[in-house]
Copies of this chain bind each other. A is one copy, B any other.
Amino acid sequence: MSKNAKRVLVAGGCGFIGSHLVDRVLKRSDVETCVVADNLWTGLDENLAHVRDPRLHIVHCDAEAFRSDIGFDEIYHLASPASPPWYMGDPRRTISANVIGALRLLESLKPGGRIAYTSTSEVYGDPLVSPQPESYRGSVDCTGPRSSYDEGKRCTEALLFEMRRAHGLDIRVVRLFNVYGPRTRPDDGRAVSNFITQGLAGRPITIFGDGLQSRSWGYIDDIVDGLERYFWLDQIDYPGPLNIGNDREISVLEVAEYVARLTGVGKVVHMPPVPQDPTNRRPDLTLARSLMPGWECRVPYEQGVEMTLEWFRARLTAGTAVAQ
């Protein structure tokens, strides 16, 4: 075993984004062990079922309860639900997973080790500026129905940045904008996967409100390209926060209509708007482009949605789909 071999912990590694990150970690030759801690609240074991790598060890536990006899060189904290119906359903646990999760995971960090955290564009709330640069302080209602997620993420950022300032903790913090693609739960509840599962079931596509609210849809492969470049490939010495996402702004309605056409459903139905649904969301990528030259979200949404749809279709055919 090389002296430089790294021990890596991915909390939330059975999740949608977490499992893709694990795939990338396992491509590294300098990684000796990759431990995944996941309580399967929103993660799924099947997301890592394809892995045959003996370096991977999956532990089913809350991030807040994780303990280990070995220390880790790198910890990736992705343990959090990310979809409104999930986090709104258990706000206490959402805050706990993020904040107490971070505190607990830090106990397993080797001295001098690094902790990376996937924060969110939701720290900007319903933004009053567009696009949103990292310096934008956000417009979050800390008493509102999305606050367990938004404030849990903000508070965890605060914890990490303050532990960096006060104690020299080595941190990397990204703010992810909307991400979609294979391994999203069919019952995730967010727009793209909702539209696709509805379309594949031959049901009308439902959107909340007029659908004119915009999102920046980042295809998972592009997003994880950014994560691995920022987290280890490019050896970037910058603590964050760093926006990672697609800066092509698309309305929810446009995606819904596209999925309706693709699946032949043809019909889009409007539902009452969701409380405090952000009206717009678009990353300012100046910093990402400067730190990671050439990195972009290259997959156009039409192509990404089609690939995601094909993945869902194959999954349905294989009979492993979770009923929505």
A61 interface residue, CB < 8 Å from B?
Answer: no
Closest 3 CB pairs of A and B: A91-B162, A147-B158, A155-B155
Q: Which of A143-171 contact B (CB under 8 A)?
A: 143-145, 147-148, 150-152, 154-155, 157-159, 161-163, 165-166
Contact indicator A163/B92 (Cβ below 8 Å)? yes
Distance to closest chain B CB from A176 (angstroms): 15
Contact indicator A158/B95 (Cβ below 8 Å)? yes
A125 interface residue, CB < 8 Å from B?
Answer: yes
Compute how far the CA of A150 lies from the CA of B161 in the bound complex, rounded to whole angstroms.
13
Contact indicator B166/A89 (Cβ below 8 Å)? yes
Chain B residues closer than 8 Å to A151, beta-carbon distance: 151, 154-155, 157-159
A137 interface residue, CB < 8 Å from B?
Answer: yes
Chain B residues closer than 8 Å to A154, beta-carbon distance: 140, 142, 151, 154-155
Contact indicator A148/B137 (Cβ below 8 Å)? no
A186 interface residue, CB < 8 Å from B?
Answer: no
Task: Give 20 new A-B contacts, CB below 8 A, not counting A142-B154, A143-B161.
Answer: A88-B166, A90-B166, A91-B159, A91-B162, A92-B162, A92-B166, A95-B162, A96-B103, A99-B100, A99-B155, A100-B100, A100-B103, A123-B142, A142-B157, A143-B158, A143-B241, A144-B161, A151-B151, A151-B158, A154-B155
Distance to closest chain B CB from A139 (angstroms): 5
A141 interface residue, CB < 8 Å from B?
Answer: yes
Q: Which of A89-128 contact B (CB under 8 A)?
A: 89-92, 95-96, 99-100, 103, 123, 125
| A165 with B145, Cβ < 8 A, contacts A151-B154, A154-B154, A159-B91 known | yes
Chain B residues closer than 8 Å to A100, beta-carbon distance: 99-100, 103
Of A100, A147, A155, A159, chain B has the most CB atoms within 10 Å of the CB of: A155
Q: Which of B92, B96, B139, B240 contacts A137 (CB 8 A)?
A: B139
Distance to closest chain B CB from A122 (angstroms): 11
Of A139, A151, A157, chain B has the most CB atoms within 10 Å of the CB of: A151
A71 interface residue, CB < 8 Å from B?
Answer: no
* A140 and chain B: residue at smallest CB distance: B137
Distance to closest chain B CB from A134 (angstroms): 8
Chain B residues closer than 8 Å to A145, beta-carbon distance: 162, 165
* A145 and chain B: residue at smallest CB distance: B165
| A162 with B147, Cβ < 8 A, contacts A100-B100, A142-B157 known | yes
A189 interface residue, CB < 8 Å from B?
Answer: no
Q: Which of B142, B147, B166 contacts A91 (CB 8 A)?
A: B166
Report A232-245 CB contacts with B as 1/0, cut-off 8 Å. 00000000110000
A138 interface residue, CB < 8 Å from B?
Answer: yes
Contact indicator B142/A158 (Cβ below 8 Å)? yes
| A159 with B103, Cβ < 8 A, contacts A142-B123, A165-B145, A241-B143 known | no
